[in-house]
Amino acid sequence: MTEALASNAGACRLFTPRRSGHEHPDELASRRVTDLQTINFEGKSIPFLAGDTISAALLRAGVRIFSRSPKYHRPRGPFCFAGSCAQCYVRIDGKPSLPACMTLCHESIRVERQNAIGSAGHDLLGIIDVATPHGLDHHHLMTWNRLANTTASAVARRLAGLGTLPDAAMEVAAGETRHAEVVIVGAGEAGRKAARDMAARGIDPLIIDSNDGAIAIGLYAPNPLQPNPFQTNPLPPCGGGSGRGDRTLLVRRHNHLESISFENLILATGTTSQPLAFEDNDRPGIYAARGLVDLARRHDLRLGEHAVLIGEGAEGPRQAAALREVGYAVEEVALSDNLRAIGSPVHALQIGERKVDCDLIAIAARPAPAYELAAQVDAEVALVDNESVCGFAVVVDDEGRTSIPWLSAVGSVCTKR
């Protein structure tokens, strides 16, 4: 395992970054020289570039292990780069379990890895994983003796959970309430098209997108099938609510909540990356291919030169092409039951008798539609299992209407009735 920490500006580029094609080279160069600021990572200064997430800054500095898993304390590193896998959680400014991939750097932000005794790179509790190759049944641990069991329970409690309580009571950030005629959740291709369609009809929709730091975390409607939004019983969230309707979208924007009442909502949440099942598939250095492409395009950051890509369905060749486009040399491998990741972070993939050296393993599994908000209001969903996606999708008609009168869905989150 190597975890180089950059101590100066020059060391922030472990691998030669390639241009993403979105920025002029002079722009990138000046950003590196003039905008260099640092975050505090476990007492050391790590530089970051303007617009870097904490994940990007740590990876740029060579940090691959971000925390340890509960129970077996296996090393963890980011996977999806999109806020959906919880693999990158770190302690930020004394607050536990926050997603490094969704948190922007700012000068002197304090970042610590969690869930380890010693360091996440050399966690004493990692011995549990080695010592229990066939699993650890913590329910029946040393039950033959009361004293022994009490001790075992204390150890089990130390092994469990994620992070520790915040350094101080967290301040309660003021909530905010808003109203919008139309809300679009997701600003990918489908969401942007929906916004253009709305604009053509003279409607200015409110767009909520995780890339702007706004995460839609809850959809609430006491009577989802009710077509008229102006009902009695308005939800009084975050200090009163707008009082205009009873449908509410809850959005977390950095450290505060927004409660948005609306008349119509369009889901354009797309799909989320999924892992694939093979031995040691949870090691740091195994990343969702889509996340790697995004990292290269948005942060001008590649995590090595040679990627081994394990693909599934149409997603395999699609993501292999995208990775090549951003500069990786890609070797494609089909999913089989004789694969094993080697190293932590990984440096090779064992395929039966053959070992393929690599800088990282990219996973291109069929993604799953991000249908959860629709499910919160009981919209009809259906299992879709085809070449391109695998998971529950929101059922819509030809016009994109769901089973809920005020809810539509567009793009890859939905399937036709």
Interface positions with ligand FES (CB under 6 A):
78-81, 83-88, 99, 101
Rg, C-alpha atoms of the chain: 23
Distance CA 65, CA 121 (A): 6
Whose Cβ is closer to ligand FES: residue 48's or residue 262's? 48
Beta bridge partners of 357: 348
Helix (H, G, I), strand (E, B) or coil at 149: helix
Alpha-carbon distance values, 20 to 24, 209, 297, 323 (Å): 9, 22, 5, 12
Residue with tokens 């309660």: 172
Q: Name the H helices within 221-270.
A: none
Alpha-carbon distance values, 313 to 217, 321, 386 (Å): 30, 14, 8
Whose Cβ is closer to ligand FES: residue 88's or residue 379's? 88
Whose Cβ is closer to ligand FES: residue 99's or residue 316's? 99
Distance CA 49, CA 35 (A): 6
Q: How far is the CB of 232 from ligand FES (least distance, A)?
A: 39
Q: How far is the CB of 109 from ligand FES (least distance, A)?
A: 16
Whose Cβ is closer to ligand FES: residue 87's or residue 269's? 87
Cβ neighbours, 10 Å, residue 310: 25
Q: Is 11 exposed, middle or buried (0-12, 13-18, 19+ CB in 10 A)?
A: middle
Whose Cβ is closer to ligand FES: residue 38's or residue 84's? 84
Q: How far is the CB of 158 from ligand FES (least distance, A)?
A: 25
Distance CA 105, CA 181 (A): 33
Q: How far is the CB of 269 from ligand FES (least distance, A)?
A: 15
Q: How far is the CB of 162 from ligand FES (least distance, A)?
A: 13
Q: How far is the CB of 102 from ligand FES (least distance, A)?
A: 6
Residue with tokens 């808003």: 178
Distance CA 155, CA 370 (A): 37
Whose Cβ is closer to ligand FES: residue 86's or residue 154's? 86
Whose Cβ is closer to ligand FES: residue 99's or residue 411's? 99
Q: How far is the CB of 55 from ligand FES (least distance, A)?
A: 6
Q: How far is the CB of 58 from ligand FES (least distance, A)?
A: 11
**Residues whose CB is less than 8 angstroms from the CB of residue 266 and which lie 6 or more positions away in sequence, other chains included:** 182, 183, 184, 185, 191, 194, 205, 400, 407, 408, 409, 410
Whose Cβ is closer to ligand FES: residue 83's or residue 304's? 83
